[in-house]
Structure 1
């Protein structure tokens, strides 16, 4: 963990400002960057069971148009997985924790030179799922996720097993991402933040003020870079003094996004 990210995590508090109290830039001047699970969508027992409300698809399409395409989904999921969830809609995206990117809704996903996990290590990490039939293994290509929402009692055993494999391979560039009922392992060197920084260099995002909304530990890398990008950051569920405001739950985010469409069209 970088010193900047460590400082971000350390400063979590319980008195941040509601998002509704923050003044937003005009839609023609900002780039909307939105995490998916726990931010736009409510959590489900398994990653495949998440549901996209029809009204959310309508809202995202309108915001995509009003921002001239500067709306991107920023997720640990692969872009292929994102497209399956939101089908038939496709949006610009940063997927795989920054491993891949799509700049235009009509474009193709491209890798960002992020190295994949070593196949042998990946196999050993995947075997951890045998601890319990309630552990769901998800291969995201550039990372491996062990979901234990259906087997919460296995959390300690999962992290201990991952730690043991890392101890046996001290020089392997692995990064462990603890999440909400999930332990994810990826190659170090790329994050959601590196993906967002690259995204903001390209049309239609460049020159705009980024507005990022996220809910989990992996989103803290993006929270940390918003000041240097003159952006705004909002957390969901967890209050923090390193963000500009917060939402209590995904439903509040969805309602807030609808409210953005009330801005006058210039």
Structure 2
């Protein structure tokens, strides 16, 4: 079934209107990295949002920090994104990292492993065609085909938000039994199959070495990350949101730059020799 777009859209808008208090995330919350699995969303969390998805870039020093955390966690660091694994690799090239891609549709446990599909069914071609046609409503609406999902970005056409929302709602009314989920985000509506989520991908990831038996630390920023926030208590993990105080998180960061600084600091802390 298609989730209620209006309800989700209203929830997102309400969350963005609240200006979170600036509360630094204490590094003391983080278990020793030998006991931790670090799970990180990309867009809006690790990397600053840009006018188009293709304009995001990896700031100097971030790859070095991520590789250092990979070493300190014995490989238990993964990127968790709605982007495909191929897209993730293009962004971080020449570096590669373990990852959950396509909102849980794909997974790679380590840089030497083959990508594993979560057997996510492809989106119906006719449905994809109808959704893609929404991009014609206004110049500046960008269509991103992620393989397992479609995203309609309107950062360059903010006036078109209502028109996109109404067009998706019409398709929802025509196909009430279609097994898709609509996720409103930061100047984007993303449509994917309802049978898989980032949370499903994280649950599967945490069953596999080197993640198994560790306490997950997840950082995300958007509605698509809320399913992972929700399962962190079950795993005795920690969840932090970026840009807004999401429900049920242990703390929040104001911006991706704060996340990058935090990760650099916990890496430095891990490298300090223990007192004799």
For normalisation by structure 2, the TM-score amounts to 0.90
Residue 232 (structure 1) aligned with residue 253 (structure 2): no
* Structure 2: runs of 5+ lacking an equivalent: none
Matched residue, 1:184: 190
Match of 2:129? 123
CA contact (8 A) 1:36 1:73 kept: yes
Q: Which residue of 2 aligns with 1:26?
A: 32
Matched with 2:167 is 161
Give runs of ≥4 in structure 1 deviating > 6 Å. Answer: 9-13
Q: Quick one: distance in 2 between partners of 1:147 and 1:257? A: 29
Distance (Å, rounded) in 2 between the aligned partners of 1:214 and 1:265: 30
Query: What displacement does 1:241 show?
Result: 4.7
- Tell me the residue number matched to 1:205: 211
Are 1:137 and 2:143 matched, yes or no? Answer: yes
Give the match for residue 87 of structure 2.
81
1:220 pairs with 2:226: yes
Alignment of 1:7-156 (within 5 A): 14=20, 17-20=23-26, 22-156=28-162
CA RMSD of aligned residues (A): 1.9
State whether residues 179 and 218 of structure 1, in contact with CA within 8 Å, keep that contact through their aligned partners in structure 2. yes
Kindly indicate whether the alpha-carbon contact (under 8 Å) linking 2:151 and 2:189 is maintained by their aligned counterparts in 1.
Answer: yes
Q: Counterpart of 1:184 in 2: which secondary structure?
A: strand
Tell me whether 49-58 or 238-247 shows the greater mean CA deviation.
238-247
For residues 129-161 of structure 1, the C-alpha deviation after alignment (integer angstroms, 9 at most, x for no partner) is: 000120010000000000000000001110110
Three-state SS of the structure 1 residue aligned to 2:61 is: helix
Deviates more, 1:21-30 or 1:144-153: 21-30
- Give, in angstroms, the shift of residue 54 of structure 1: 2.5
- Output the CA distance in 2 between the equivalents of 1:100 and 1:257: 25
CA shift for structure 1 position 108:
1.7
Shift of 1:22: 5.0
Question: What's the secondary structure of 2:30's corresponding residue?
Answer: coil
Report the alpha carbon displacement of residue 89 of structure 1 after superposing the two structures with TM. Answer: 0.5
For residues 22 and 51 of structure 1, the distance between their equivalents in structure 2, rounded to whole angstroms, comes to 30
- Quote the offset at 1:240 in angstroms: 3.3
The CA distance in 2 between the partners of 1:94 and 1:17, in whole Å, is 29
**C-alpha displacement at 1:204, in angstroms?**
0.6
With structure 1 as the length reference, what TM-score do the two structures score? 0.93
C-alpha displacement of 1:59? 0.5
Query: What CA deviation, in whole Å up to 9, does each residue of 1:228-264 have, x standing for no partner?
Result: 0000000000013510111110000000100011223
Aligned length: 261
**Counterparts of 2:42 and 2:247 in 1: how far apart (Å)?**
22
Q: Contact (CA 8 Å) 1:176, 1:186: kept in 2 or not?
A: yes
- Residues 16 and 243, structure 1, Cα contact 8 Å, conserved in 2: no
Q: Where do 5+ consecutive residues of structure 1 fail to align?
A: none
CA distance in 2, matches of 1:183, 1:241: 21
